[in-house]
A = this chain, B = another copy of it.
């Protein structure tokens, strides 16, 4: 954990919304929280389908009736994991909106915070990684409505950036999908024991996705943005 002061400052600033969120969570039922945390972990490790209520009970060392006291079925648990993850991501979006300048800065702040959520927070990773096609139509609709709110918020920052000149004209929907896709995909390759720290990955993703790859000798043909809708 030997990090430079600069990194720590950045990390602490970005972690603040989590702290507030997690503090509120602590007021709720601790056992219920343990069920959710263990379930999220198992869903991510073995997949939702391959995780059974029996296995969850065994892991938690509680009886099946005790488990069913909290949740009627596995789907209810998954929906709650999504809800917690999406609620946390929404706080990050709000945080990105209030404390940063232009549209591009908001998008950058959001990408960094969202990447950190996928990298370090199991419920955040559930939102990115688990397939909501596993849910019943009603539950799926609920989860997708929640996800859509996030997508709409990102789009609004991109639109703001286009208006204030910090973001080049582009198809806002595609930009939002490209950002979300790159970050969601982190869950497929990231290993906490790997060489790269979550903070560094999040920062570099935010750089790459907002600034692009371009170096010092960009050729005009590449440097010039192709306007949305052309061709």
Contacts and interface: CB of A to CB of B under 8 A. Distances in A.
B185 A215 contact: no
A219 B175 CA distance: 20
A104 B204 contact: no
Contacts of A209: 178, 182, 209, 212-213
Interface in A84-135: 101-102, 104-105, 107-108, 131, 133
Interface stretch (A17-25, A54-62, A161-169): A161-169
Most buried by B among A170, A171, A203, A213: A213
A5 B133 CA distance: 40
Contacts of A189: 177
B170 A180 contact: no
Interface in A178-231: 178-186, 188-189, 196, 199-201, 203-205, 207-219, 222-223, 225-226, 228, 231
B208 A165 contact: no
A161 B205 CA distance: 18
A4 interface: yes
A155 B92 CA distance: 31
A223 B213 CA distance: 12
A7 interface: yes
Most buried by B among A49, A184, A225: A225
Given A181-B182, A231-B10, A215 B171 contact: no
A180 B171 contact: no
29 contacts: A3-B231, A6-B231, A47-B133, A104-B214, A104-B218, A104-B222, A158-B213, A164-B217, A165-B216, A166-B217, A166-B219, A166-B222, A167-B213, A168-B215, A170-B204, A170-B213, A171-B196, A174-B204, A174-B205, A177-B186, A177-B189, A178-B205, A181-B181, A181-B185, A182-B209, A184-B185, A207-B226, A208-B212, A209-B209
- Among all A-B residue pairs, the 7 with the closest Cβ atoms: A181-B185, A212-B212, A182-B182, A165-B217, A181-B182, A7-B231, A211-B212
